[in-house]
Amino acid sequence: MIHQTIELKNPKLNGERFLNYFNCVEELKEIAQEIGKPLSQVAINWLIAQKEVGPVICGAQTPQQIEENVRSTTWELEEKTIKKIEMVLNKKNIC
């Protein structure tokens, strides 16, 4: 019950803002599918590619998630894909 109350008070998890974030994730999923990578790896890889970002700290609850997080460091996003991701983020006013 407490968890639901906290969620209801968070504007990012309600109404139009939530819908904006949800739609952004759906568009990012499409980009991930286009390049044949899981969205989690694309997100980590995008963060690694940002010059302004220092070390990327990833959470994981299972050994499989740790392995998937590590696999995101075995490849690099192409510049055109980075631009597509940034277009989605800018369009959704997330960056």
Quote the CA–CA distance of 95 and 62 in Å, as a whole number.
29
- The answer to which of 32-36, 60-64, 82-86, 89-93 has the lowest mean pLDDT is 89-93
Terminal Cα-to-Cα distance of the chain (whole angstroms): 32
DSSP 52: T
pLDDT at 16: 79
Q: What pLDDT, in 10s, does the model give residues 28-73?
A: 999 999 999 999 999 999 999 999 998 999 999 999 999 999 999 9
Q: Are 95 and 86 in contact (CB under 8 A)?
A: yes
pLDDT at 18: 81
Quote the CA–CA distance of 92 and 86 in Å, as a whole number.
10
Q: Are 38 and 68 in contact (CB under 8 A)?
A: yes
Residue scoring higher pLDDT (13 or 81): 81
* Side-chain half-sphere exposure of 86, counting CA atoms within 13 A: 11
